[in-house]
């Protein structure tokens, strides 16, 4: 049994493990598919569920290693282009980071009060899936003659009586050390293709105008850099009934003169449909404000905590009084 396990491991070392095959996903699998596959397989092969089973233990280690590589956008990109050997080349990890892309996302006040999952599609450059970003047909490459396959070359630098050589990146192969033997028919040797990417944007209750939702490593792809981030910036649309100030909300209620003098019973339909009942039996001054505690916006860090609702009262005075009404008022207010 131990001989068989050793043989399986030896084959993996010689041929190089296919981490996609280990996780039982396709090379096109997205982040959620990889996460789902890892959870399923790690439970299946976990040592606690397979005590004394060395083969299951080794499978668990492979699954864990595969997830470590494929769930990391930088490691996955290097693995896709250079294979397992590329993961041991520290120089590949020192590449620059690509640009971030920011998108404005318009949302309603209801969206940031209740929370919302919103699918958004963007267009970006992605590594060609056929050639894995090599630009080569069937991923077949040849060593770069300009640098001898090293990715760097020596350049003479001199001046003021001295001469020295310094190592610079090869311009012909871009530091990769290889060139396409034949252009990839899918990307035409460009290494990337323009494609649509759908992202599930989670708008949390309590988010505000200008809040950012970040998708790390989901920006433009290129074999020359690690992808930057996709950043969605929320832009809150004006609301017809409510105005937001921090975690507080404000709204207005119109009262008749009778209601302002004798009291009122009013209902406010809130952003999630629940009704806020406010009653009063005294005199209400025009432009006065009543605060209803706990009926404002949810706090983003603790959504169960809410701000306050500020209700401003507008008193509608009659445009004209009858002679009898005028006499009555004069008697009431001598």
pLDDT in the model for residue 188: 93
pLDDT in the model for residue 161: 63
* Predicted confidence (pLDDT) per residue in 267-322, tens digit: 999 999 999 999 999 999 999 999 999 999 999 999 999 999 999 999 999 889 89
pLDDT for 2 beyond 60: no
The whole-chain average pLDDT of the chain stands at 88
pLDDT for 88 beyond 70: yes
* Predicted confidence (pLDDT) per residue in 170-206, tens digit: 888 877 788 888 999 999 999 999 999 999 999 999 9
pLDDT for 138 beyond 80: yes
DSSP assignment of 83-152 equals -GGGGG-HHHHTPPBPPPEEEEEEE-HHHHHH-EEEEEEEEEEEE-TTTTTS-BGGG-EEE-TTTTTSSE
112 neighbors 234 (Cβ within 8 angstroms)? yes
Percent of the chain with pLDDT over 90: 59
DSSP assignment of 213-247 equals EEETT-S--BTTBB---EEEEEEEPPPSS-EEETT
Percent of the chain with pLDDT over 70: 94
pLDDT in the model for residue 50: 94
Q: 289-292 and 141-143: which strand pairing?
A: unpaired
* Mean pLDDT calculated for residue range 250-259: 96
* Mean pLDDT calculated for residue range 48-68: 94
115 neighbors 205 (Cβ within 8 angstroms)? yes
pLDDT in the model for residue 170: 87
- C-alpha 76/C-alpha 130 separation (Å) is 15
Of 13, 223, 14, residue with least CA distance to 131: 223
* Mean pLDDT calculated for residue range 145-167: 78
- C-alpha 47/C-alpha 190 separation (Å) is 45
pLDDT in the model for residue 15: 42
Which of the pair, 47 or 174, is modelled with greater confidence?
47
Angle at 176 between CA 173 and CA 177, to 5 degrees: 75
* Mean pLDDT calculated for residue range 159-175: 77
152 neighbors 167 (Cβ within 8 angstroms)? yes
Q: How confident is the model at residue 93 (pLDDT cuts 50, 70, 90)?
A: confident
Q: Which residues pair with 279 in a beta bridge?
A: 265
Q: How confident is the model at residue 104 (pLDDT cuts 50, 70, 90)?
A: very high
The reported pTM is 0.73
DSSP 8-state secondary structure symbol assigned to residue 302:
S
* Predicted confidence (pLDDT) per residue in 219-245, tens digit: 999 988 889 999 999 999 999 999 999
pLDDT in the model for residue 16: 63
**Burial grade of 270 (CB within 10 A; 0-12, 13-18, 19 or more):** middle
- C-alpha 311/C-alpha 289 separation (Å) is 5
Angle at 186 between CA 121 and CA 184, to 5 degrees: 135
Q: At 137, give phi and psi (nearest 5°).
A: -60, 130
pLDDT in the model for residue 30: 82
pLDDT in the model for residue 160: 63
**Burial grade of 317 (CB within 10 A; 0-12, 13-18, 19 or more):** exposed
């Amino acid at each position: 049994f131990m001989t068989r396990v050793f043989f399986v491991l030896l084959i993996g070392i010689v041929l190089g493990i296919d981490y996609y095959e280990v996780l039982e996903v396709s090379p096109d699998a997205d982040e959620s598919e990889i996460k789902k596959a890892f959870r399923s397989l790690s439970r299946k092969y976990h040592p606690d569920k397979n005590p004394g089973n060395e083969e299951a233990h080794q499978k668990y280690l492979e699954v864990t290693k595969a997830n470590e590589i494929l769930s990391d956008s930088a490691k996955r990109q290097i693995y896709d282009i250079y294979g397992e050997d590329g993961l041991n080349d520290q120089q590949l990890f020192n590449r620059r980071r690509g640009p971030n892309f920011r998108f404005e996302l318009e949302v309603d006040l209801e969206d940031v009060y209740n929370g919302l999952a919103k699918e958004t599609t963007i267009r970006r450059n992605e590594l060609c899936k056929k050639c894995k970003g090599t630009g080569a047909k069937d991923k077949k490459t040849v060593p770069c003659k300009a640098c001898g396959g090293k990715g760097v070359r020596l350049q003479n630098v001199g001046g003021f009586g001295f001469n020295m050589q310094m190592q610079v990146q090869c311009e012909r192969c871009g530091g990769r050390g290889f060139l396409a033997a034949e252009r990839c028919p899918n990307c035409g040797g460009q290494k990337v293709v323009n494609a649509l990417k759908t992202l599930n944007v989670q708008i949390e209750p309590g988010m505000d105008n200008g809040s950012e939702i970040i998708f790390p490593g989901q920006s433009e792809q290129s074999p020359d850099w690690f992808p930057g981030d996709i950043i969605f910036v929320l832009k809150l649309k004006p609301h017809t009934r409510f105005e937001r100030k921090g975690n507080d909300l404000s709204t207005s209620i119109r009262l008749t003169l009778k209601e302002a003098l004798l009291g009122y019973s009013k209902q406010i339909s809130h952003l999630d449909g629940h009704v806020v009942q406010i009653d009063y039996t005294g005199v209400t001054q025009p432009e006065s404000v009543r605060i209803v505690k706990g009926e404002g916006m949810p706090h983003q860090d603790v959504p169960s905590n809410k701000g306050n609702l500020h209700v401003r009262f507008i008193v509608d005075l009659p445009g004209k009084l009858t002679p009898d009404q005028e006499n009555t008022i004069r008697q009431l207010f001598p």
